[in-house]
């Protein structure tokens, strides 16, 4: 199933989405830090 | 295992390897779909047993069976098991089975991640359920885990947090897999606006999961550090804020309930057109409505917190945004009825559950609209009125859609039809008992009965008794369902055609029943008859 | 034992279905009370009830129309009656109509709801202030500026009946689970400002007849107001999960005509005087209300009501072991036995036994600290008096074969 190019594309998209998830995770702590310093 | 992927065109197709290790190592979306669904059935059973403990204790005033703290553990664990062990894996199982076939892909985008994402779950729930047997007992602070109360949890606390992290990772990786598959692996000609609505709803649900599960992870991580590492995120004495936890939790929590219902909307949007023999009314509107609901779901969270003491402006904003979300939801209900209208309907079991969904979910929607009225919510909040509301949208709502989907697609999965008489009996018993269980809870909540209490004032007795009878009846009726599907899985009963339902459209119905182990290894030609009709 | 219980329940299920039939023949008022929200006794509660009924009727009308169409279709468009399905599958006009129409209806609801919410948030110009503190698992009431304060707990009859396997029929207890030892007495016709906070976890104070509930949160002071229009007794409950006995910390408001209220208040001041709370309670700011030292003058069934023991004054008092054991037995029964049981055996694994336990036979300071601050499922007991805490600790250290010394009130005071 799927050739190498397909696989690379999939992994790229997946990593982008993982980055989105991590952004939301980090965002919680960043918001907290801003809130307490502000 | 994975290196076979590059060679599949050349090899003759093997079926799955024999033996138990097949299930441990499989990266096949059909196998994993089956695993997710079987796991969720087990979790529904366990969560159901917990609900029976709850309802048995609530049969009469006074305490007959359990101590109050164990009762609190039951309500807490019941919710965690049902939401994270029952519903979410069930919908993930449906996505695994159906999304690749519906878009003409050979499997999900990242098959090994898929396997890993599944196997996290039994491990996570073993951890969570083990807390029932340890000193101090299972968590008892509610599935919402508000501090400071949740920080009074004893030895179960780290197990709770860790298991939630694992469940979250499972959901996030599953969601990433679904998005990548839908965006990158649709067969040529399958444009986004030709995809079946079930695929659309899962695409949007997956984005919600990616955005919100990490927020839950952040929130519970802060609980962990508050308890063990001296932080005071939620401790007022240290300059922190217990209410902030609620904001963070519900920022996750509200989209979470839409995660629990959007795939259900997709299922119903698949089943009604099939049995009405008529295309889904307003496909484009349905897509936009789903997207609107998902967007709005991010800005309504504080309606779970109306009594917390927010400033007036905040309360007004969240009241308005919450009322607003009723509009696209209503649009969907109207579109389903318009699909039925002037169709030519037959009422096989999947259709019975789908129509019941439209009726009973909408009742849950009405109580939701009432709850949105903030000043009225000051009387409804934390009473059985809320319990009635969310059980209506989740049980005769989401759970009915899962049942409908299984009846609908099991001919495709196993190659055999379920027993229709037994299916109809299961439906009627379920529909009657579920209403007996939850409708009286509206009254008892309005009359003043708070939630999460093991004992109550005597005037609440009658309705509690009806509710308990309903709960036991509903629980036992489900064995009819289990028996029926196990029969199909044992390859008994009438053989199913490729297009098991005459009115069904979609790529999944172009392959044989049971579906071959590998389908669409070569992308299919998109015949508009399959998509226009689904459209 | 379990089988016997299950069979009893099965029998009861059948019996109660039959027995509940006469209940359906009750008075209209009693019936209304079972099915619907109370109208209540304040202007706010009446507004809220009216909003509730309005949105309910709106939903009924929408439901009738929508479900009417659906069930009509189920009947008229089944295959046997309607063999040829239509093919229409979209209509922009229709989509617009059924988007805009509900939107307009919602605006219609939002306007009165906004009005009521605005009214509810105006706590200015109140005639008096009550400070409410939530504890695990009781309420504390403070008549700000009057020097009257007390605790309010589930009454003894209910508390006895609600124990697992109590053998007492709840129906035989008057106002089962909705009765307290000391109700909150309030005047009719005055604008009362309520300030809510908590000493431990989040609770919520709710009296349906007043028309609202509000969370009691540690570190916050939440405000609400009410003007009670009719004298009477109004009952409510804690409405936020707060641990083991969340269902067992009710609220009773006794609303009296103005003159009777003044009389009651004067009586409270003259008799059972507790030192006034410090002035911090007047400000509505979200200050940190760290766990306050216990209001001196213990509130349980013990006979010490007359003494005013400010924490500092107890420094010199040394009590005999016998006195401590006697007071301690009562304090233990009232506050500790629910979890650790009257015989000290506890309920393992959830609640530890106190027979030879490490905490009870170990260092005194550690046990005092645990009683004051709590640990996991054991809530903080800092609201009890030094004397009660010292006595209860002494009792545990000298019962059931334990022989671990005596604790004086001064030691507890020093540990706060």
> Which of B9, B28, B169, B180 has the highest number of chain A CBs within 10 A, making it the mutation to test binding with A?
B180
Answer yes or no: do B345 and C178 touch at CB < 8 A. Answer: no
Q: Which chains touch B (3 or more CB pairs under 8 A)?
A: A, C
> Which of B70, B71, B246, B345 has the highest number of chain C CBs within 10 A, making it the mutation to test binding with C?
B345
Answer yes or no: do B450 and C239 touch at CB < 8 A. Answer: yes
Q: How far apart are CA B17 and CA B26, in angstroms?
A: 9
Residue of A nearest to B206 (CA): A17
Are B255 and B247 within 8 A, CB to CB? no
Instruction: State the pLDDT confidence band at C297, using cuts at 50, 70 and 90.
Output: very low
Instruction: State the pLDDT confidence band at B14, using cuts at 50, 70 and 90.
Output: low
- Which residues from A are below 8 Å from B219, CB to CB? 28
Q: Which chains touch C (3 or more CB pairs under 8 A)?
A: B
Backbone angles phi and psi of C148, in degrees to 5: -115, 125
Residues of A with CB under 8 A from a CB of B: 1-4, 6, 9-11, 13-14, 17-18, 20-25, 27-29, 32, 36
pLDDT of B467-497, one tens digit each? 999 999 999 999 999 999 999 999 999 999 9
Q: Quick one: tokens of B19? A: 């033996």
pLDDT of C298-329, one tens digit each? 333 333 333 333 444 444 568 898 999 999 99
Answer yes or no: do B179 and A22 touch at CB < 8 A. Answer: no
Answer yes or no: do B330 and C245 touch at CB < 8 A. Answer: no
Answer yes or no: do A21 and B8 touch at CB < 8 A. Answer: no
C375/chain B closest Cα distance in angstroms: 7
pLDDT for res C319: 86
The answer on pLDDT for C378 being more than 60 is yes
Residue of B nearest to C349 (CA): B135
Residues of B with catalytic roles: 78, 107, 143, 170-171, 254, 256, 258, 269, 303-304, 329, 332, 451
- Which residues from C are below 8 Å from B320, CB to CB? 110
CA distances from C276 to B87, B400, C284 (A): 54, 59, 18
> What average pLDDT score do residues B276-291 get?
96
With helix as H, strand as E and coil as C, how does B317-374 read?
HHHHHHHHCHHHHHHHHHHHHHHHCCCCECCCHHHHHHHHHHHHHHHHHHHHHHHHCH
Scanning C110-139 for CB atoms below 8 A from B yields 110, 113-114, 116-118, 120-121
The answer on pLDDT for B364 being more than 80 is yes
Higher pLDDT, C31 or B328: B328
How many residues in chain B? 535
The answer on pLDDT for C335 being more than 90 is no
Residue of C nearest to B282 (CA): C90
Answer yes or no: do A25 and B215 touch at CB < 8 A. Answer: yes
> What average pLDDT score do residues B356-384 get?
98
Answer yes or no: do B346 and C78 touch at CB < 8 A. Answer: yes
Does the CB of B52 have a partner CB in chain A at under 8 Å? no
Q: What is the ipTM of this complex?
A: 0.94
Q: Quick one: tokens of C185? A: 């007495």
- Which residues from C are below 8 Å from B154, CB to CB? 376-377
Answer yes or no: do A10 and B110 touch at CB < 8 A. Answer: yes
Which of A28-32, B108-112, B181-185, B270-274 shows the lowest mean pLDDT across its residues?
A28-32
With helix as H, strand as E and coil as C, how does B278-308 read?
CCCCCHHHHHHHHHHHHHHHHHCHHHHCHHH
Report helix, strand and coil shares of chain B as percent, to nearest 5.
70, 0, 25
B13/chain C closest Cα distance in angstroms: 41
Q: Quick one: tokens of B277? A: 């023999």
Mean pLDDT of all residues in chain C?
Answer: 85
The answer on pLDDT for C146 being more than 90 is yes
List the beta strands (DSSP E) in C228-376. 232-238, 251-256
Does the CB of C202 have a partner CB in chain B at under 8 Å? yes
B449/chain A closest Cα distance in angstroms: 36
pLDDT of B84-113, one tens digit each? 999 999 999 999 999 999 999 999 999 999
Instruction: State the pLDDT confidence band at B8, using cuts at 50, 70 and 90.
Output: very low
Q: Percent of chain C scored above 70 by pLDDT? A: 81
Answer yes or no: do B109 and A3 touch at CB < 8 A. Answer: no
Pairing of strands C128-135, C191-198: parallel
């Amino acid at each position: 199933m799927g050739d190498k190019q397909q696989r690379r594309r999939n992994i790229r998209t997946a990593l982008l989405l993982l980055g989105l998830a991590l952004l939301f995770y980090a965002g919680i702590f960043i918001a907290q830090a801003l809130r307490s310093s502000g | 295992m994975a290196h076979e992927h590059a060679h599949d065109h050349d090899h003759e197709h093997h079926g799955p390897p024999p033996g138990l290790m097949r299930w441990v190592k499989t990266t096949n979306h059909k196998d994993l779909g089956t695993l997710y669904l079987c796991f969720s059935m087990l979790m529904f059973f366990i969560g159901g047993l917990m609900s029976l403990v709850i309802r048995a204790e609530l049969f009469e005033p006074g305490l007959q069976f359990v101590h109050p703290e164990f009762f609190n553990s039951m309500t807490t664990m019941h919710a965690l098991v049902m939401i994270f062990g029952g519903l979410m894996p069930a919908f993930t199982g449906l996505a695994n089975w159906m999304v690749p076939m519906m878009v003409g892909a050979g499997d999900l985008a990242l098959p090994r991640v898929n396997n890993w994402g599944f196997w996290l779950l039994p491990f996570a729930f073993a951890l969570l359920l083990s807390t029932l047997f340890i000193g101090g007992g299972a968590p008892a602070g509610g599935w919402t885990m508000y501090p400071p109360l949740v920080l009074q949890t004893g030895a179960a606390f780290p197990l709770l947090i860790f298991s939630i992290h694992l469940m979250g990772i499972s959901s996030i990786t599953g969601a990433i897999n679904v998005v990548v598959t839908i965006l990158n692996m649709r067969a040529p000609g399958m444009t986004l606006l030709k995809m079946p609505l079930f695929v659309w709803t899962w695409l949007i649900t997956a984005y919600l999961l990616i955005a919100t599960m990490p927020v839950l992870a952040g929130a519970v991580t802060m609980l962990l550090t508050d308890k063990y590492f001296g932080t005071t995120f939620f401790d007022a004495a240290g300059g922190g804020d217990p209410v902030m936890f609620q904001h963070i939790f519900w920022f996750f929590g509200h989209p979470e309930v839409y995660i629990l219902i959007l795939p259900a909307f997709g299922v119903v949007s698949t089943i009604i057109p099939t049995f009405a023999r008529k295309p889904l009314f307003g496909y484009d509107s349905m897509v936009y409505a789903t997207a609107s609901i998902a967007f709005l779901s991010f800005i309504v969270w504080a309606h779970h917190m109306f009594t917390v003491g927010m400033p007036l402006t905040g309360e007004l904003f969240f009241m308005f945004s919450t009322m607003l979300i009723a509009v696209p939801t209503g649009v969907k209900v109207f579109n389903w009825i318009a699909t039925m209208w002037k169709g030519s309907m037959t009422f096989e079991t999947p259709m019975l559950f789908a129509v019941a969904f439209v009726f009973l979910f909408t009742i849950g929607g009405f109580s939701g609209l009432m709850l949105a009225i903030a000043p009225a919510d000051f009387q409804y909040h934390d009473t059985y009125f809320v319990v009635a509301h969310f059980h209506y949208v989740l049980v005769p709502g989401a759970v009915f859609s899962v049942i409908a989907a299984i009846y609908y697609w099991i001919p495709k999965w196993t190659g055999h039809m379920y027993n229709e008489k037994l299916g109809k009996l299961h439906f009627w018993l379920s529909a009657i008992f579920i209403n007996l269980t939850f409708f009286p809870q509206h009254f008892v909540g309005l009359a003043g009965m708070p939630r999460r209490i093991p004992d109550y004032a005597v005037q609440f007795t009658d309705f509690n008794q009806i509710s308990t009878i309903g709960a036991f009846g509903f629980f036992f009726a489900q064995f009819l369902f289990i028996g029926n599907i196990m029969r199909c899985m044992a390859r008994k009963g009438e053989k199913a055609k490729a297009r098991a339902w005459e009115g069904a459209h979609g790529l999944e119905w172009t392959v044989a029943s049971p579906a071959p182990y590998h389908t669409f290894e070569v992308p299919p030609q998109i015949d508009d008859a399959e998509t226009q009709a689904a459209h | 034992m379990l089988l016997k219980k299950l069979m009893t329940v099965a029998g009861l299920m059948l019996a109660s279905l039959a027995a509940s039939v006469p209940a359906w023949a009750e008075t209209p008022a009693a019936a209304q009370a079972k099915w619907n929200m109370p109208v209540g006794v304040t202007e706010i509660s009446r507004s809220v009830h009216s909003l509730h009924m309005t949105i309910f009727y709106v939903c009924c009308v929408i439901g009738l129309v929508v479900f009417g169409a659906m069930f009509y279709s189920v009947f008229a468009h089944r295959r046997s009656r309607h063999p040829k399905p239509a093919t229409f599958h979209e209509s922009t006009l229709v989509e617009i109509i059924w988007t805009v129409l509900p939107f307009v209806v919602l605006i219609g609801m939002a306007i009165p709801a906004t009005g009521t919410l605005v009214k509810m948030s105006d706590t200015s110009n109140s005639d008096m202030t009550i400070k409410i503190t939530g504890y695990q698992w009781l309420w504390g009431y403070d008549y700000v500026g009057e020097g009257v304060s007390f605790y309010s707990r589930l009454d003894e009859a209910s508390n006895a009946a609600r124990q697992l396997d109590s053998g007492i029929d709840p129906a035989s207890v008057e106002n089962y689970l909705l009765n307290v030892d000391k109700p909150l007495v309030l005047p009719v016709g005055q604008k009362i400002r309520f300030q809510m906070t908590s000493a431990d976890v989040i609770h919520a104070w709710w009296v349906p007849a007043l028309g609202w509930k509000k969370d009691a949160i540690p570190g916050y002071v939440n405000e609400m107001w009410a003007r009670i229009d009719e004298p009477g007794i109004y009952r409510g409950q804690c409405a936020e999960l707060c641990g083991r006995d969340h269902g067992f910390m009710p609220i009773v408001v006794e609303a009296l005509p103005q003159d009777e209220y003044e009389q009651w208040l004067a009586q409270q001041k003259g008799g059972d005087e507790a030192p006034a709370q410090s002035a911090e309670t007047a400000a509505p700011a979200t200050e940190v209300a760290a766990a306050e030292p216990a209001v001196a003058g213990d509130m349980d069934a013990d006979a010490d009501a007359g003494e005013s023991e400010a924490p500092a004054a107890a420094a010199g008092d040394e009590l005999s072991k016998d006195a401590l054991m006697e007071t301690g037995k009562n304090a233990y029964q009232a506050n500790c036995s629910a979890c650790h049981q009257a015989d000290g055996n506890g309920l393992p694994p959830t609640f530890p036994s106190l027979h030879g336990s490490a905490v009870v036979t170990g260092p005194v300071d550690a046990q005092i600290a645990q009683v004051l601050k709590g640990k996991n499922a054991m809530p903080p007991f800092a609201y009890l008096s030094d004397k009660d805490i010292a006595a209860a600790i002494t009792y545990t250290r000298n019962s059931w074969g334990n022989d671990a010394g005596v604790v004086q009130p001064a030691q507890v005071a020093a540990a706060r």
